[in-house]
Amino acid sequence: MKVRIVLLAVSAALAVVPAMAQSTIYSNGPTNGNTDAWTINFGFVVSDTFNVTSYDTQITGASFAMWLEPAGSPAPCAHCTYGGDTLESAELSITSGENSGTTYFNSTVNFTQSGCVVNNYGYDLCQESTSFNGPTLNDGTYWLNLQNAETREGNPVYWDENSGPSHASENSVGTIPSESFTLLGQAHTCGAGADCEASQTVPEPSSIILLGSGMLGLAGVLRRMLF
């Protein structure tokens, strides 16, 4: 039994790697829903900045607040019960500049729609969530760009303006107030007061061998004590 415990300890020691945690990487604040919104299809591009605070941070998903055509628009088929339009996909890119510069990610992503309510202007205000295998970024400021959105009915879709801390622009008018969004991902985590760079250093192979040899030697001593 003691030998088994020691061997498990050896396995745990050899498995030590930098900690990764699924978390909110950046939030631009709560949804507004009743002030304004900006078109992200029909040739329009909306761009917002976001900040990454940890090195080697992978972006794996996002959620947005969108305005969509409400129920009462033409139904998609003669026998359909139509509850409003649905965002299906959009081109999402992450760049070093305002929809320009170095491109770290550029792909058409699909959305899951939820929590729709009717806002003061009669639009469906919905949460749109997506997951994707995004880029790994170091700490710094980047731009998130949305364009070429597709809806079930081919209608315009609008990204909710909430005037959060992000800088933002629209390709036809320039600087605008920023929009409602949250980015999710995996970021390295460090203990309180720890040097993050130092704590994320992977042991060299020679160090791992020495550690394993020492632990296995201890296992041998305990084994001899049992017999």
Q: What is the pLDDT of residues 71-82, one digit of tens each?
A: 765 544 544 444
Q: Count other C-beta atoms under 10 Å from residue 126's C-beta.
A: 25
pLDDT in tens, 62-101: 999 999 999 765 544 544 444 699 999 999 999 999 999 9
Q: What are phi and psi of 180, to 5 degrees?
A: -85, 120
Residue 71 CA to residue 75 CA, distance in Å, equals: 8
List Cα–Cα distances, 117 to 41, 73, 113, 179, in angstroms.
22, 16, 12, 18
**Residues 192 and 122 sit within 8 Å (Cβ to Cβ):** no
Per-residue pLDDT, 193: 44
Q: How confident is the model at residue 4 (pLDDT cuts 50, 70, 90)?
A: very low
For 194-217, give the DSSP string: --HHHHTPPPPHHHHHHHHHHHHH
Burial of 37 (0-12, 13-18, 19+ CB in 10 A): buried
List Cα–Cα distances, 134 to 15, 66, 143, 150, in angstroms.
26, 21, 14, 21
Q: How confident is the model at residue 8 (pLDDT cuts 50, 70, 90)?
A: very low
What count of Cα atoms within 13 Å lies in the side-chain half-sphere of residue 154? Answer: 3
Domain positions in the chain are 1-16+204-227, 18-188
List Cβ neighbours of 4 (8 Å cut-off, separation of 6 or more): none
Residue 156 CA to residue 38 CA, distance in Å, equals: 10
List Cβ neighbours of 139 (8 Å cut-off, separation of 6 or more): 51, 52, 53, 54, 55, 57
pLDDT in tens, 155-195: 999 999 999 999 999 999 999 999 999 999 998 765 444 45
List Cβ neighbours of 225 (8 Å cut-off, separation of 6 or more): none
Predicted TM-score (pTM) above 0.85: no
Per-residue pLDDT, 187: 87
Q: What's the length of the chain?
A: 227
